[in-house]
Structure 1
């Protein structure tokens, strides 16, 4: 509701901006950083679940697994490149889906 009021206020004051017909909504499908964060979270979570119940809830164990995952990702530049290069197709998919969820 506020977004509509803001858009109308801007239009009424002759402020030019990209409207919803051009600029896609706030979409996790477009946010490559969220994809990377999700990959890190999933890999750390998998490692944590493989721990014994006692170790699974220790902060030190979490820190160790985060470090392992991040270190392994440093060498995996291909995944980052693939994600970054996918941005144009992500943008097209969101636009074609009329700002609804896509398969990304």
Structure 2
């Protein structure tokens, strides 16, 4: 963390109708969350399912430095596996990156 601040990412994903369980199963099968957590500088990485909207998921992760977050975003895991699933299952995203 720089000056006690970490880089945070939060996104609300709208999953294609009726595909949320299938998407979650693919994330588990590929062990993406576990592998993201092993990346340099990761503080936490979570994906949760909305209890009020069956097509929504929330991604929340934090990184020690902005450089760690950028390295994560350009990693093979994100560029290949994550992006492939994203294209297949995600309909829309509202997200933000901030330091806190």
**Structure number with bigger Rg:** 1
TM-score by length of 2: 0.25
The structure with the greater share of residues assigned to strand is: 2
